[in-house]
Chains A and B, each alone.
Chain A
Amino acid sequence: MNLTFPRLLLQHAATRPQADALREKEYGIWQNHSWAGLTALTEQLAAGLHLAGLQRGEHFVVIGANRPRLYAVMLAGQSLGAVPIALYQDAVAAEMVFPIQNAGVRLAVVEDQEQVDKMLEVRESYPELGRLYFDDPRGLRHYNASGLSDLNALLSEGQTFLATQAKDARNGYSVWFNQQIEQAQSEDVAALFFTSGTTGNPKGVVHTHRSLIDRAQAGQEFDRLTEKEEVLAYMPLAWIGQNIFSYAQWLVCGYVVNCPESASTVAIDLREVGPTYYFAPPRIFEALLTSVMIRMEDAGWLKRTLFKRFMAVAQRVGPARMQGSTVSLSDRLLYALGDLFVYGPLRNNLGFSRVRVAYTAGEAIGPDLFRFFRAIGVNLKQLYGSTETAVFVCLQADHQVSADTVGVPCRGVDIKIADNGEILVRSPGLLQGYYKNPEATAEVLDADGWYHTSDAGFLDQQGQLKIIDRVKDVGRLKGGVYDGAMFAPKYVENKLKFFPFIKEVVAYGDQREQVCCFLNIDFDAVGNWAERRNLSYTGYTDLAQKPEVYELMRDCVNQVNQDLSADHLLAGSQVSRFLVLHKELDADDGELTRTNKVRRGFIADKYRVLVDALYEGRAEQYIETQVKFEDGRSGSVSATLQLADATVVKKGRHEAHREAA
C-alpha cells in the first residue's frame, strides 16, 4: 500500500469525520478537534505554506510543545511533500543553528515568543531563515522582524487561496489539496530527526513515510491497538519516541491524542484523560514512585498501614498475576481486596486507571521500580529501539515481561549478534541514512542492510533480547577461571546501582583476571539505615568506612554475583573485590560527566593506587585526594580505605547446575 501520513489523514476524515482526533486543554476545558476539522485546518495551512513558497522536498522546522496546530502544520507540510523537522523546544539557539543550516531550512513554525527569539538569534548567523510563523502571539505584538507573522495570517491567506479552488467531489476538499497529497509517495522522505550525538555535531536521521508507517503498524499489531486508545502527548515531538506514539501511530490507528494544558499540569491532565496507551522513560516512572512514597510517609497511620500491608501482597501476587500464571484462591481474594482499597485508588491517582499498555524505554529500569508498577496492576513493559530504527525493534509481549530484557523482535525485524557482541538489526523501519553525512551512514549501515546499533547484547533462551552495554565499553577478562569471558562494566554497575544504598559504581576488569569495583554509598539512604540501627557516624567519610556499611555493601555485591552467575555469558563479570570510596564522585572533580555518567578511565587514573591495591589483594590502602568545593576553593580529603572480598559463585558449580537443568 502506498501510504503517506496525509493520505492516512484523508482516510480518517472520510471514514470517521466527526470522531475526535486531537484534544487540547485550554481555558480549563478539553477542546476537541475532529478528523474533519483537523483536515480542513491542514488544508488551509497547506495552502498558506504553499503561498509562502514551501517547496516539495524542502525542509522546514517546527518547534514547540505538543499543540494541535503544530501537528496540523507538520501534516500540511507533508501534504506539500515538504519535510518537517521537529527540534527540541528547550534547546538554546546555538544548538539549533546546526540542524537548521545543515538541512537548509528557510521556514520555521514555532510555538511562542521564546522560540521566536531563538529563531531571530539563529537568523543572525543564518539569514536564509527567511520566514517565521508563531502560534501564540503573546508578547510578540511589537516585533517587527521581516518575514515574521502570526499563524492566523497564514491561515487566512490559505483560506483566500482555497476559495478560488474547485472542490473535489470525492471528499469535499479542494482538487488542489488532493492533487498535492497524491503526488507524494510512501518512498518519499517524511521527516528528519536530529540525534543529539554525544560527540561532534548532531546527525539528521532520514525517515520515509514507509519506514515510519511500517513500524507504527508493527507496534499496532503487536499490542492490538485500536482507534479507541487515548494517548497523552507530553514529551518533546523532536524525540522519535513521542513522534511515533503521538503522530505516526496516531495516524495509523486513528486514536485520540490529548495535549496537556501546560508542562506543569501534566500530572493533573494525565488523571483527567486516563490514557489507555502510555509511554515514558524510566525517570518519569521513578518520579511517580517517589511522589507516591513521599505522600504515603505523610499519610495517617491507618492509610500507611493499609498501604504497607497490601503492597506486600501486591509485590507477591501482582507480578505473577500479570504474567498470567495461576495464583491461589486466597491470594486472589487478598489481591482483590487490595485492589479495592489501595491499588485501584492509587492507579486512579496516578492517571493509570485505564492503561492497557504502558512502555518504558531509553535506559535500564530498576527491577524494584518496574515491579512496583506491575504489582499494582499497570501493564508496564519494555521495548528496544532508537531513532535510527523508528523505535520498534523488540517489544515485550503481555505475559512475558522481565526487568532485564527488552522483549522479542517484532514483525519484520531480523536480529544478528556480531562477533564483538554488537546487536545488528535489519528491519523495514531503518533510516535511509544520515542527512548529508555518508561517512556516518556507512559506519552504521553495512552493504547487507544491517544497522549497527553499537549496543552489545544477546538473545536469551526465550528469544528475548538482553542489552548489556555499549559495544565500545565491553571488555574481556584475561587469565584466571573466566579467561576470555565478556566483561560488561555498565551492566554490572547498573545492577549494583539499583540498590537504594548504592549511589555510584565504577567497575574494572578489562584485560584483568577478575572484576573489582569502587562503590559510592547513597548518603541519605545509608545514613537513614544507620540511624535506624543506632549506628553513630560523624560524616560521609566516617559512615562510608563503617564495618557495618561494608557488610551491607557486601550483601548487595553478593546478590548481584548470584544473579550474574546464572547468566553463562556474564558469569565472569562477577565482582570479586570492592571498596567503598571515602568521597562522593563529583562532576566538579571531573569524575562524572555533567549528565552524571561515571568517567571510568579518568577515575582509574586518579585512583590508580586504589585499583592497584584491589588487584594486589591488599586489605587496606591510604589515599589522599584533591577535591574542589562548590565555592571554587580546593582542599584535600584523606582516608585509609578498607578493601573487601565478595563471594564469587564458582564456575564449576554453575555449569553442573546447568547440566542438571
Chain B
Amino acid sequence: MSDRGTSGKKIGDVILDVQNISLRFGGVKALTDISFDVREHEVRAIIGPNGAGKSSMLNCINGVYTPSEGSITFRGQQFDHMNSRQVAEMGVARTFQNLALFKGMSVLDNLMTGRNLKIKSNLLLQALRWGPAEREEIQQREFVERIIDFLEIQAHRKTPVGQLPYGLQKRVDLGRALAMEPQVLLLDEPMAGMNVEEKQDMCRFILDVNDEFGTTIVLIEHDMGVVMDISDRVVVLDYGKKIGDGPPHEVRNNPEVISAYLGASH
C-alpha cells in the first residue's frame, strides 16, 4: 500500500563505530577482530548461531566486558573500553536476555528505577518526599506513565513484576530501558521464549520506538523471520568472527551465512 508509506524514516550518520574488537577469556577467543558500525535511527541486528559471540559483543559495547583489542567510537568519542555508568549517561540503554527486573516490585516502580539517572534531588529530600523532590517525582512519574501508555501495560501498572507472564515481563524490561530516554537501545534477544502473538507485539513496539522516538536500535535475535522483517542492516557472527554484513536480503543469500546456519556439506 503506497498510502501507508513507511519509508519516511531518515537514517543518519554513524553513531556507533566498533573497530577491530577482540575479546579473550584466557585461551578462549570469544570475539576476533570484529568491526561494524551503527547509523543513527536504524535498526541494526546482530545474528549468529549459539556461542557466536553476540551477547559478548553487546557486553563490550555497554562496558560489562573490556575488549582485549580494538576500540569503540560513540558520537565521535573514541574509547578503548567502555564504563557501564558512563555508557548509560551517554544515552545507551539495554535489555537483558534473561530478564533482570526487580520481581517483587510493581511495574511502575520498576520503570521508575529506569529514571534513576535523571533524578537530581538528593537522597534525603527523596526519602522525605519534600519540596523539589516531590515535584521531581511527579515529573518522572509523568514520563513513566507515557511509557506505560506506549507499551499498553496500563492494566498491570500496580502488579508485582514476578506475577506477570513472561511476554509482559519482557515488555516491562523494554519499558525500563526506554525510561532512560536512550539514544541507542541494545536489545538482547527481546523475543526469546515468546509465542507468535507476543513476538508480533514486541516487533510492533520495537518498530514504534524506532519510529516515534527515533531511537537507534541494536538487537540480537535468533528468529530469522523477525530479523529479516524489522532490521535495516544485519551483522552475522560465527565462532567470534564476522562472516556477513549488509541489508537483510543480501545477508540471506550470503553462502557463508547459509552454511553457518544450516551446516555445510563437506
Contacts and interface: CB of A to CB of B under 8 A. Distances in A.
Chain A complexes with chain B: yes
Interface in B28-55: none
Contacts of B141: 28
Given A28-B145, A28-B157, A264-B154, A120 B211 contact: no
Given A28-B145, A117-B4, A120-B1, A138 B208 contact: yes
A142 B8 contact: yes
Interface string B7-43: 1110000000000000000000000000000000000
A262 B3 CA distance: 28
Contacts of B148: 27-28
Contacts of A264: 152, 154-155
Contacts of B6: 142
B64 to A, nearest CB: 34
A117 B1 CA distance: 10
Contacts of A29: 145
A143 interface: yes
A139 interface: yes
Interface in A259-273: 261-262, 264-265, 268
Interface in B151-193: 152, 154-155, 157
Contacts of B8: 141-142, 144
Contacts of A142: 4-9, 211
B142 interface: yes
Nearest to B8: A142
A27 B3 contact: no
B229 interface: no
Which residue among B4, B9, B148, B211 has the maximum number of chain A CB atoms within 10 Å of its CB?
Answer: B4
A620 B5 CA distance: 67
Given A120-B3, A145-B3, A138 B212 contact: yes
A26 interface: yes
Contacts of A262: 152, 154-155
Contact of B4 (A26, A28, A145): A145
Nearest to A29: B145
Nearest to A120: B3
B223 interface: no
Contacts of B154: 28, 261-262, 264-265
B80 interface: no
Nearest to B157: A28
A26 B142 CA distance: 11
B149 interface: yes
B206 to A, nearest CB: 13
A142 B3 CA distance: 9
B3 A143 contact: yes
B142 A144 contact: no
B211 A139 contact: yes
Nearest to A264: B155
Contacts, number: 52
Nearest to A26: B149
B3 A144 contact: yes
B122 to A, nearest CB: 26
B118 interface: no
Interface string B60-89: 000000000000000000000000000000
A111 to B, nearest CB: 14
A26 B145 CA distance: 9
B146 interface: yes
Interface residues of A, number: 19
A307 to B, nearest CB: 23
Contacts of B149: 26-27
A525 B225 CA distance: 43
Interface in A122-154: 138-139, 141-145, 148
A27 B208 CA distance: 18
Given A120-B4, A141-B211, A145-B4, A27 B155 contact: no
Nearest to A148: B3
A27 B146 contact: yes
A589 B261 CA distance: 44
Contacts of A28: 141, 145, 148, 154, 157
Interface of B is mostly: helix
A28 B148 CA distance: 9
Interface in A100-134: 117, 120
A120 B1 CA distance: 9
Interface string B125-158: 0000000000000000110011011101011010
A143 B211 CA distance: 12
Nearest to B7: A142
B229 to A, nearest CB: 16
B208 A139 contact: yes
Nearest to B208: A139
Contacts of B1: 120
A271 to B, nearest CB: 12
A143 B157 CA distance: 31
Nearest to B149: A27
B140 to A, nearest CB: 13
Contacts of A117: 4
A143 B4 contact: yes
Contacts of A27: 142, 145-146, 148-149
A143 B2 CA distance: 9
A389 B208 CA distance: 45
Interface string B197-222: 00000000000100110000000000
Contacts of A141: 8, 211-212
B8 to A, nearest CB: 4
A261 B146 CA distance: 13
A44 to B, nearest CB: 24
A145 B8 CA distance: 13
Interface in A262-304: 262, 264-265, 268
A268 B159 CA distance: 12
Nearest to A121: B1
A120 B2 CA distance: 11
Nearest to B152: A262
Nearest to A144: B5
B232 to A, nearest CB: 15
A281 B7 CA distance: 45
A196 to B, nearest CB: 27
A39 to B, nearest CB: 27
A29 B150 CA distance: 15
Nearest to B150: A138
Contacts of A120: 1, 3-4
Contact of B155 (A26, A138, A265): A265
Nearest to B211: A141
Contacts of B155: 261-262, 264-265, 268
Contacts of B150: 138
Contacts of A139: 208, 211-212
A262 B145 CA distance: 14
Contacts of A144: 3, 5, 8
A120 B4 CA distance: 9
A142 B1 CA distance: 12
Nearest to A262: B154
Nearest to B142: A27
A173 to B, nearest CB: 32
A163 to B, nearest CB: 31
A481 to B, nearest CB: 57
A138 B1 CA distance: 18
Contacts of B3: 120, 143-145, 148
Q: What 4 A-B pairs have minimum CB-CB distances, sorted nearest first? A: A142-B8, A145-B3, A27-B145, A264-B155
18 contacts: A27-B146, A27-B149, A28-B145, A28-B148, A28-B157, A138-B212, A139-B212, A142-B4, A142-B5, A142-B6, A142-B9, A143-B3, A143-B4, A144-B8, A145-B4, A261-B154, A264-B152, A264-B155
Given A27-B149, A144-B8, 12 more contacts: A29-B145, A138-B208, A141-B8, A141-B212, A142-B4, A142-B5, A142-B9, A143-B3, A143-B4, A262-B152, A262-B154, A264-B155
Interface of B: 1, 3-9, 141-142, 145-146, 148-150, 152, 154-155, 157, 208, 211-212
Interface of A: 26-29, 117, 120, 138-139, 141-145, 148, 261-262, 264-265, 268
